[in-house]
Structure 1
Amino acid sequence: MPIAINILNHNDVDILRNIDPDLFDGAIDLQRAEEFLADPRHHLAVAIDDRLVVGFVSAVHYVHPDKPHPEMWINEVSVAETHRRQGLGKRLMNAVFEVARELGCAEAWVLTDRENTAAMNLYSAVGNPETPSDCVMFTFNLEEANPSQLK
């Protein structure tokens, strides 16, 4: 049976009960999964092999006051070790791109570390060459930040 690529919706949370154990960063919280899938701006494409989720792309589409079209931000991509190098990452990315097109998005974008060879290869294979820039990402831990540091 071929590996299916599905875009999950709010009725599909049970699909996330059967995932490759190394696919996500941590265990699936079904309440958070329900919240994610219930939000129409959140998108989750999954690769399913014999009822086991072996890959995913999570994304968010958003609008901005100075942009004429919505954009799709690719948050995370993962394929199980056992299923890599079979084109699943490309198929998942293309499924999310199709959702973005249907929503009228003019662009989709993603950030990664240059040292992440797998991601660099995947993103180069499904899109335009990397954007020439020297991007720097900052992460703000809002649970530990001192309020005076945020002023």
Structure 2
Amino acid sequence: MAIEIRKLVAGDEQVLGNVAPGVFDEPVRPDLTRRFLATPTYRIFVALDGDLVVGMVTGFTHFHPDKDEEFFVNELGVDDEYRRRGLGEALLRAILAEAKAMGCPDAWLGTEQVNAPALALYRKVMTGRDTEEAMSIFTYELTSR
């Protein structure tokens, strides 16, 4: 059976009820799924093997008082058993095409410098106009403050 890449919309919540291990960092919560799919500027594409979600990519638009709307690719995950089949690339290309269709002039994402598979994927999808920059990420644990 071929893997299907599909954009989820409001009403597709049940699709995320059958997810392979390793696709998401944590168990999928129905309340957050409903909220996510109901948010107009959020997007999720999944890779489906039958009714099993074996990959996903999420993102959203954002803007700032001095910057036009742009698209942030938030997370991409593919189950270990389905890696090295082109699913990550297909998912990333799908969400970038969606961002372009939404009218965003730019999309961006980040990953750790030690994440060699992600770096290879993101570099593979780059065109001559795209750029790569090194950056630091700071995480603030707010529950301890």
State the TM-score, normalizing by the size of structure 1: 0.89
Q: Select the structure of larger CA radius of gyration.
A: 1
Corresponding residue for residue 37 of structure 2 = 37
For residues 19-77 of structure 1, what are the alpha-carbon distances to aligned partners after superposition, in whole Å with 9 as ceiling and x for unaligned? 0022111111111111111101111110001110000001111122212x321111111
Instruction: Give 1:130 deviation, angstroms.
Output: 4.9
1:114 aligns with 2:100: no
| 4+ runs deviating over 3 angstroms | none
* Cα separation, partners in 2 of 1:2 and 1:139, compared to 1, 3 Å: same
Corresponding residue for residue 54 of structure 1 = 54
**What letter matches 1:90 in structure 2?**
E
RMSD, aligned CA? 1.3
Runs of 5+ unmatched residues, structure 2:
none
For residues 75-111 of structure 1, what are the alpha-carbon distances to aligned partners after superposition, in whole Å with 9 as ceiling and x for unaligned? 1111111111111001001110111011111111111
State the TM-score, normalizing by the size of structure 2: 0.93
Instruction: Give 1:4 deviation, angstroms.
Output: 0.6
* Cα separation, partners in 2 of 1:24 and 1:132, compared to 1, 3 Å: closer
Between stretches 109-118 and 124-133, larger displacement belongs to: 124-133
Runs of 5+ unmatched residues, structure 1:
146-151
Give, in whole Å, the separation in 1 of the partners of 2:9 and 2:133: 35
Give, in whole Å, the separation in 1 of the partners of 2:131 and 2:85: 23
Corresponding residue for residue 74 of structure 1 = 73
Corresponding residue for residue 21 of structure 2 = 21
Instruction: Answer whether contact 1:124 1:130 (CA < 8 A) is retained.
Output: no
Corresponding residue for residue 11 of structure 2 = 11
**What letter matches 1:75 in structure 2?**
N
3-state SS in 1 of match to 2:144: coil
Instruction: Answer whether contact 2:3 2:48 (CA < 8 A) is retained.
Output: yes
Give, in whole Å, the separation in 2 of the partners of 1:138 and 1:87: 31
Give, in whole Å, the separation in 1 of the partners of 2:60 and 2:38: 13
Instruction: Answer whether contact 2:22 2:77 (CA < 8 A) is retained.
Output: no
3-state SS in 2 of match to 1:54: strand
Instruction: Answer whether contact 2:59 2:71 (CA < 8 A) is retained.
Output: yes
3-state SS in 2 of match to 1:112: coil
Corresponding residue for residue 89 of structure 1 = 88
3-state SS in 2 of match to 1:63: strand
